[in-house]
Structure 1
Amino acid sequence: MKNNISQPHAHAHARAVIFDDGWSNAKCDLNILPARGQKGRGAVSNIDGRFERHIHQAVDDGWLGQLMEDAPPRIKTTLGIDGARSVITRNQSPDVPFDRSINPYRGCEHGCIYCFARPTHAYLGLSPGLDFETRLFWKPEAASLLRKQLSSKAYNPAPIVIGTSTDPYQPVDRDKKLTRDIIKVLTDCQHPFSIITKSALVTRDIDLIAPMAARNRASVAVSVTSLDHRLSNLLEPRASAPHRRLDAIRKLSDAGIPVTVLAAPIIPGLNDMEIENIVAACADARACAISHIVLRLPLEIADLFEEWLEANYPERKDKVMSLIRQMRGGERYQSEFGNRMRGTGPIAELIAHRFKLARKKYNLTGRSMDLDCSGFKRPSADGQMSLF
């Protein structure tokens, strides 16, 4: 049984709430049911977005019985159409070394519990929880829209990053090949680009990426969060396994494509003990650079992450959240530019120092976006290339 409750958001671990049905003076003390995760999904629940007028809580009305002992029904992934009229997104953040990006998909089936893009689903009236990883949207006209934007005389080329919010190589791209279509447009125009992914599917497009990389017009960043298969599977349930990401780094590097590793996020008390091993493994896979980002918990992600900890690492929950607060001035998150990626305080400084020493030991640098824009060939609006 579910009820709408008009009150501030109640956490999933709450045991009871007072419910007024509006028809009588009596109020009922309802037992709120704990959220139950699903195999292959990151979020434990489908919490309501911050713009919703009501919250929804599952409660035990005494009639559920055996139903609560059974596994919850599987939620299938659906794919809708994003009718965006442009494909290049601009940003002015001083925390990132680029000002434009492309995200072929909204929502991401990888289901990373920490994904900072989850709150964007609230703009669609959907949940940043399970909806974000099961109700996806794609941009079927992305390639033609990109060509149109590049054809504008007002457009000045600068490196475009593909996959800043959601992974361009999530499972649905095996069929849609939307990311490959976008890369084709960029290669036709000799427009510099970089790709961010945690999927081994990126190796499918080596034939397009490598020739651009040979001209210093393409690079790839692969996210490696953990070498522990169990932890990785819980954090990022439908992303490529750690050994497959390392193999992808090696294949990309062997093809002459510069590969940066993003050790992100670093979660104190969960994967920070792996820092040196991650750097060593990525150096062995012939990555040329590595950088890190500490866990970010903006908006709804904070509640989702605490639910995830309670469901998967209850014995570590208090310690992990305490360490996170020590990096965030006593809060679960701070959004200020300059601090949001790295955190502050002794814990954040120690993490940064360990990465600095590990990079020096294995001769890895920080991330670079120094790509060549001089060869850009502006397409015409009808898709033909300009002769000049």
Structure 2
Amino acid sequence: MIPLKPISDLPARSDVDRHDPDLPGEAPVVERPLVARKGRGAVGNIQGRYEVDSRAAFDDGWSHEDDTDAPTLRTHVFDERAKSILTRNQSPDIPFGVSLNPYRGCEHGCIYCFARPTHSYLGLSPGLDFESQIYAKVNAAELLERELAKPGYTPEPIALGVSTDAYQPIERERRITRAVIEVLSRAGHPFASITKSSLIERDIDLLAPMAERNLFSAAITITTLDPVIARTLEPRAAAPARRLKTIRALADAGISVAVSIAPVIPFVTEPDMERVIEACRDAGASAASYIVLRLPWEVSPLFEQWLAAHFPDRAERVLGRVREMRGGKNYDASFATRMKGTGLWAELIRQRFTQAVKRCGLNEHRRGAMDMSLFERPVVTKPVSVQAKRPDDAQLSLF
């Protein structure tokens, strides 16, 4: 008789790459190789840091050698009635104090997105779930109008679409962002928006008049001009050439446009930095900024998987440079250094950026503060609840 091992000695389910020779008849379990999905940034659905159970994908023997792509993953959108809509920020390295995000999750699928870990709060994965299970805050405009109508509300510029893109693909159908802008326009409330989408052109009819009154400015994120890299890095965002056309359309409408080169990824997008700055200058941008790659929480393993799938030849070099700029770690959350990094490489990037911006004549005319004096508090009428009248001496009923 073969002695049975106690349950406590059996291998954990997460150790799927291990084979216990003491368990007769058990074949070694092979982890499923990483396969990129067409139109998706993450190559897997890693667990969020709050999940209790451990899972791992494995090859069950039914895959085929000629399989090059994983099955198509559909996007699911869920309606959410949010309880609040404005987020206050006190981080000293972020240039805004209030933000508004009409959606949770983002279909653009940018692998480097710092907002991916927020899906862990929902019990979902920061990986494929973040870009395929989207929550639309259907009452965003209503909540915003009520917030602006409060007697104690003090206006300050709102950053629209910071954590997740306010103009991601589902905005074409949902139009939540446009409804929010309509509220801001009626109230004369200043705001700024950052996006990778050409859909912002749809709202120029609202944005241009606000920009003329110094109530709006835009920023377009462009990480690289290489469409092949962009397609894997930011799979469902507008192509780089299309974003340049968006900069031109906004600038021609009289809207101040900045370019955000974020993130700068060593050996991937970093070689393109000067070309991006020059192209954006030619398209009509007036300012530029940059952020070095950040890998907080689950973004770190997701990015490593992405490198292994798309750039296996340079994965170690990229991570080595990232760690060199982060004190030997994948990420350092210190406010003073998290946006730009430290060390020789970080300083080299700073100098290259500074020289390119100077050469292109960007950032020469610093934009003044937005006009707060035009704000008009909305008048929101609360619905009146109608109750049946009863005589004062009538006895209340229990039923």
TM-score, with length taken from structure 2: 0.88
**Residues matched between the structures, number:** 370
| Distance apart, 1:55 and its partner CA | 2.2
2:246 and 2:169 map into 1 onto residues whose CA distance is 16
| Distance apart, 1:271 and its partner CA | 1.1
1:18 and 1:74 map into 2 onto residues whose CA distance is 32
1:246 aligned residue (223, 230, 244): 244
Find runs of 4+ consecutive structure 1 residues off by over 4 angstroms.
Answer: 24-28, 366-369
2:104/2:164 contact within 8 Å kept: yes
Aligned runs of 1:206-355 on 2, under 5 Å? Answer: 206-355=204-353
| Distance apart, 1:374 and its partner CA | 1.1
1:17/1:29 contact within 8 Å kept: yes
Partner deviation per Cα, 1:219-253 (whole Å, 9 max, x = no partner): 00100110000011110000000011000001100
Equivalent residue, structure 1, for 2:381 = 382
2:325 and 2:24 map into 1 onto residues whose CA distance is 47
Partner deviation per Cα, 1:35-66 (whole Å, 9 max, x = no partner): 222100000000110111122112234x4253
Question: What SS does structure 1 have at the residue aligned with 2:217?
Answer: strand
1:117/1:166 contact within 8 Å kept: yes
Aligned runs of 1:48-63 on 2, under 5 Å? Answer: 48-61=47-60, 63=61
Equivalent residue, structure 2, for 1:386 = none
Amino acid of the residue matched to residue 133 of structure 1?
E
1:157 and 1:138 map into 2 onto residues whose CA distance is 25
1:155 and 1:53 map into 2 onto residues whose CA distance is 41
Amino acid of the residue matched to residue 134 of structure 1?
S
2:146 and 2:239 map into 1 onto residues whose CA distance is 37
Aligned runs of 1:26-175 on 2, under 5 Å? Answer: 29-61=28-60, 63-66=61-64, 69=67, 71-175=69-173
| Distance apart, 1:74 and its partner CA | 1.3
| Distance apart, 1:25 and its partner CA | 9.5
Task: Structure 2: state its 5+ residue gaps.
Answer: 1-10, 383-399
Give the 3 Å change call, closer, same or farther, for CA 317–255 of structure 1 in structure 2: same
Question: What SS does structure 1 have at the residue aligned with 2:338?
Answer: coil
2:87 and 2:299 map into 1 onto residues whose CA distance is 23
2:38/2:69 contact within 8 Å kept: no
Partner deviation per Cα, 1:112-167 (whole Å, 9 max, x = no partner): 00000000000000000000000000011111110000001111000001011000
Partner deviation per Cα, 1:360-387 (whole Å, 9 max, x = no partner): 111111886721111100012229xxxx
Give the 3 Å change call, closer, same or farther, for CA 18–149 of structure 1 in structure 2: farther
Report the aligned-residue RMSD: 2.1
1:98/1:369 contact within 8 Å kept: no
Give the 3 Å change call, closer, same or farther, for CA 335–28 of structure 1 in structure 2: farther
Equivalent residue, structure 2, for 1:359 = 357
Question: What SS does structure 2 have at the residue aligned with 1:196?
Answer: strand
Equivalent residue, structure 2, for 1:197 = 195
Give the 3 Å change call, closer, same or farther, for CA 363–65 of structure 1 in structure 2: closer
Q: Which has the higher strand share?
A: 1
Amino acid of the residue matched to residue 344 of structure 2?
P
Amino acid of the residue matched to residue 171 of structure 2?
D
2:252 and 2:79 map into 1 onto residues whose CA distance is 36
1:189 and 1:183 map into 2 onto residues whose CA distance is 10
Which protein has the larger Cα radius of gyration, Structure 1 or Structure 2? 2
Give the 3 Å change call, closer, same or farther, for CA 57–92 of structure 1 in structure 2: same
1:187 and 1:70 map into 2 onto residues whose CA distance is 48
| Distance apart, 1:82 and its partner CA | 2.2
2:288 and 2:356 map into 1 onto residues whose CA distance is 10
Equivalent residue, structure 2, for 1:17 = 18
In percent, how many aligned pairs have the same letter?
A: 49
| Distance apart, 1:83 and its partner CA | 2.5
Task: Structure 1: state its 5+ residue gaps.
Answer: 384-388
Equivalent residue, structure 1, for 2:389 = none
| Distance apart, 1:95 and its partner CA | 1.0
TM-score, with length taken from structure 1: 0.91
2:350 and 2:202 map into 1 onto residues whose CA distance is 34
Partner deviation per Cα, 1:275-319 (whole Å, 9 max, x = no partner): 111110010011010000010000011100010000001001011
1:176 aligned residue (174, 189, 192): 174
2:75/2:131 contact within 8 Å kept: yes
Greater shift, 48-57 or 120-129, is seen at: 48-57
1:118 and 1:279 map into 2 onto residues whose CA distance is 27
